[in-house]
Amino acid sequence: MTTSVRAPLETTTGYPAEIVARYRAAGYWTDETFQQFLGARAERFGDAIAVTGPDASGTDRAITYRELSDRADRLAAGLQSSGVQPGDRVVVQLPNIVEYVEVIFAVFRLGALPVFALPAHRSQEISYFCSFADAAAYVVTDTHAGFDYRTLARDVVASAENPPRVFVAGDAEEFTSLDELRSADPISDEPAAGPESVAFLQLSGGTTGVSKLIPRTHTDYLYSVRESDRICGIDENTRLLVVLPAAHNFPMSSPGILGVLHAGGRVVLAPDPSPDTAFALIEREGVTIASLVPPLALAWLSAAARTERDISSLEVLQVGGAKFSAEAAKRVRPELGCTLQQVFGMAEGLVNYTRLDDPEDTIVTTQGRPISPDDEVRVVDDHGEPVPSGTSGHLLTRGPYTIRGYYRAPEHNSTAFTEDGFYRTGDIVRLTDDGYLVVEGRAKDQINRGGEKVAAEEVENHLLAHPAVADVAVVSMPDQYLGERSCAFVVVQGEQPKAVELKKFVRGRGLADYKVPDKVVFVDEFPVTGVGKISKSELRRALEKTFVTS
């Protein structure tokens, strides 16, 4: 066994002691942890099916709670015997395959921390997560959707100072396969993780050069999961269809995979996001709830009219991650025959749901209200002063499952949080009289590409590395299907490259595909604001004009 020493985790989560005491006294924070989560579920729900879906080889699988728990235990043992230790970080980048669930629970069981990467991430993002979190291990699948993750792993290992061990679901080639790991002896007892310690690192959508890592604790996250179950009516009869990438906060915990497993229901993993695949699974598995981003909800609405599948088991369609227009929202009940639930959440914490028994008008026109009576929501103007109810302003929040700071980012934290611990979400919202939130826009420098978040600055930095780019500004442009796409305005130096060359350049630097600008516009100079900064709002307006006229 080889063991390399990893930096200890920075464990301060920033919740003041009196707040911790309050959340515990209120019963929000309990002693439950992810380390014992699956074992406890297996005892209770043993032979019920926990997860169905493809495995890495594409074979359809149905795994009971007991099997899932046994498999996760054996994987944990394998990880342990190959040197992964409690407190270590493990970057997990898996598509919607059953191994995803096994791996995250194996990592939890060991007392190690998953870092939840998305399948779309490439060498830029993964190398950064591995080095920033000082990851001991990196778990991938062999190939998925035409992409070979072992090639990516080779790049990541080659460029790392302290490379992670690589574990592969499926054909591992020179790496270690999960099957090999599973042959290890049972795990020796690991020290119990404290409920208020960090359980995993989630990724922020990002507003600066790179994504921030979000330290979520066992107790804060499990509180949001249990309450989500209550609000969304999740129980043993629930069948949840997971269409979005399983590692994203929405399908993971709102109430998502974790909520459904907590309640003894069944998680149905969809191998691809097409409505045809989804509808076939709804019919076969009797799916009761699904969570989608708005573009997929639109695709389901148009596919529902011509499907021959019986999708009548579907009771709730959750839509979130980006604004769902009221026009589309009101089509859900008549055309899909189920209740819409709008979900406005963020990996940093706060999640808002419309309630299942809300009046239709509330469901269609708002993005819901917070999970907890102790979620504090402030809507303020540009100077931080509260605005009157019904007026739009910046959303700030603090509460029993919202972080007090990003992982190892003191400088960023001093602006991303107020002095009294409120997270500045960067969203512009309005509060209705009955405390529901309506998302009106965004102040953060981010493009929301159908739920996938693109930090303008990150893409700008990569474009600036091109020798012909003198200056660049990346902004959102309206899009009928995705809501927004990205547009890079570029001032060139020397010979003007083709737009396609710049896109290829960005992709070639190992950035996730969804961050490659959808459009490149060459300009002689940028419009500037009164203080001489590039006026992104003017650039956005210019795009809107061309869209109206073209």
Residues that bind ligand OOB (CB under 6 A): 205, 249-250, 254, 320-323, 342-347, 351, 367, 425, 427, 439, 442, 448, 451, 453
Q: How many Å apart are CA 65 and CA 132, to the nearest integer?
A: 34
With respect to ligand OOB, which residue has the nearer C-beta, 54 or 345? Answer: 345
**Which residues, in sequence order, are CB contacts of 94 under 8 Å at separation 6+?**
100, 103, 119, 139, 140, 141, 169, 246, 247
Closest contact distance (angstroms) between CB of 151 and ligand OOB is 27
With respect to ligand OOB, which residue has the nearer C-beta, 29 or 436? Answer: 436
138: Cα within 13 Å, side-chain hemisphere = 34
Closest contact distance (angstroms) between CB of 130 and ligand OOB is 21
Closest contact distance (angstroms) between CB of 366 and ligand OOB is 10
With respect to ligand OOB, which residue has the nearer C-beta, 369 or 503? Answer: 369
DSSP output for 313-374: T--EEEEESSPPPHHHHTTHHHHH-SEEEEEEEETTEEEEE--TTS-HHHHHH---EES-TT
**Which residues, in sequence order, are CB contacts of 127 under 8 Å at separation 6+?**
155, 156, 159, 160, 510
Closest contact distance (angstroms) between CB of 373 and ligand OOB is 19
With respect to ligand OOB, which residue has the nearer C-beta, 187 or 437? Answer: 437
**Which residues, in sequence order, are CB contacts of 500 under 8 Å at separation 6+?**
none
Encoding tokens for residue 294? Answer: 């708005």
With respect to ligand OOB, which residue has the nearer C-beta, 77 or 267? Answer: 267
Encoding tokens for residue 219? Answer: 């107790």
With respect to ligand OOB, which residue has the nearer C-beta, 35 or 211? Answer: 211
Q: How many Å apart are CA 73 and CA 95, to the nearest integer?
A: 21
With respect to ligand OOB, which residue has the nearer C-beta, 172 or 439? Answer: 439
Closest contact distance (angstroms) between CB of 111 and ligand OOB is 26
**Closest listed residue to residue 208, CA positions, set 510, 455, 487:** 455
Q: How many Å apart are CA 133 and CA 127, to the nearest integer?
A: 10
Closest contact distance (angstroms) between CB of 350 and ligand OOB is 9
Closest contact distance (angstroms) between CB of 248 and ligand OOB is 6
3-class state of residue 164 by DSSP: coil
Closest contact distance (angstroms) between CB of 203 and ligand OOB is 8
With respect to ligand OOB, which residue has the nearer C-beta, 52 or 354? Answer: 354
With respect to ligand OOB, which residue has the nearer C-beta, 188 or 480? Answer: 480
Whether the Cβ atoms of residue 423 and residue 396 lie closer than 8 Å to each other: yes
Closest contact distance (angstroms) between CB of 310 and ligand OOB is 28
Nearest residue to ligand OOB by CB is 345
Closest contact distance (angstroms) between CB of 401 and ligand OOB is 11
Q: How many Å apart are CA 390 and CA 83, to the nearest integer?
A: 55
Encoding tokens for residue 524? Answer: 């002689």
The angle at the Cα of 130, spanning 269 to 56, to the nearest 5 degrees, equals 25
With respect to ligand OOB, which residue has the nearer C-beta, 314 or 322? Answer: 322
Phi and psi based region of residue 206 (left: phi greater than 0; alpha: psi -120 to 50; beta: remaining): left
